[in-house]
Amino acid sequence: MNMTILLALIIAWAAIYVLKRVVAQLIVRKAGRAALSEVGKRALTRVPGQVSLLKAEFPSWTNQAAVEQQAAPLRSEGFRDLGVYSVNTIPGVLIRMMAHPQTNVAAHIYDHPTSGSWAEFVTRYTDGSSHALSTLPPTGMDHPEWWRKIQADKNTPTDQLYRQFLTRREWHGIKSVAPEDTIREFEENYAKLATWRQERGITPKEVAHVAVQWLHKKQAAGTTQ
């Protein structure tokens, strides 16, 4: 799959871990690009270069009903349910993995204790690029040119999102991925994106976006802790 979504979340969470201690002071003092760049470098050191998906026979759900609500329509559309997986380096994250053998679309339905549940559809291409549709709100993180993203409404039923994705994805050069290879593709594409992120770094603009989102969430929760 395309792992930009998950990678963006990891970086955002890592940056927040650092920013909790310094972002308020940075913003108040109107710190320059150098200071924000340093925060990005520190956050990037917490991003794993690889992940492994581990089959969860007895998953500890946070949003089980929401995940099932999104998975059920896809089974009716012909998706094969591959099971639920945890991510070895990201505690608390669960992913229901699904794949459609005829259309070469992988579906990943995420469950996270603080970010909730969201769906993602992915098609891979023979040139190494990916096309994805996701209902996760924008993270403020950039992504490489070889990953094409479609932003979708979280309130739209997943069967409709799937059909929407089929009409909007690139049709040329689609890579055939068997359902049994979906997990391996997920892990390999994460590593590819992690390498891109490590080489590119995190820009001050991206750090600022994460900081603003974090502050907004704290303000909405009515706390400054």
Per-residue pLDDT, 8: 65
State pTM to two decimals: 0.84
pLDDT in tens, 11-53: 666 666 666 655 555 554 555 566 667 777 777 887 888 999 9
What are the helix (H) ranges across the chain?
4-28, 33-44, 64-76, 158-168, 182-200, 204-220
Query: Could you count the other beta carbons within 10 Å of the beta carbon of residue 195?
Result: 12
pLDDT in tens, 185-196: 999 999 999 899
Q: Is residue 135 part of a domain?
A: yes
Q: Is residue 225 part of a domain?
A: no
Q: Is residue 166 part of a domain?
A: yes
Q: Are 10 and 47 in contact (CB under 8 A)?
A: yes
Domain that holds residue 161: 4-220
Q: Is residue 11 part of a domain?
A: yes
Q: Report d(CA 61, CA 48) in Å as an integer.
A: 24
Q: Residue 80 pairs with which residues in a beta bridge? A: 99
Q: Is residue 23 part of a domain?
A: yes
Nearest to 63 by CA among 118, 119, 111, 134: 111
Nearest to 214 by CA among 63, 61, 33, 39: 39
| Tally of structural domains, the chain | 1
Per-residue pLDDT, 114: 79
Per-residue pLDDT, 1: 40
Ranges of the chain with pLDDT below 70: 1-36, 211, 213-225
Q: Report d(CA 201, CA 140) in Å as an integer.
A: 14
Q: Report d(CA 109, CA 1) in Å as an integer.
A: 12
Per-residue pLDDT, 89: 87
Per-residue pLDDT, 185: 95
Which residue carries 């995940």 as its tokens?
Answer: 67
Per-residue pLDDT, 6: 62
Nearest to 108 by CA among 136, 127, 88: 136
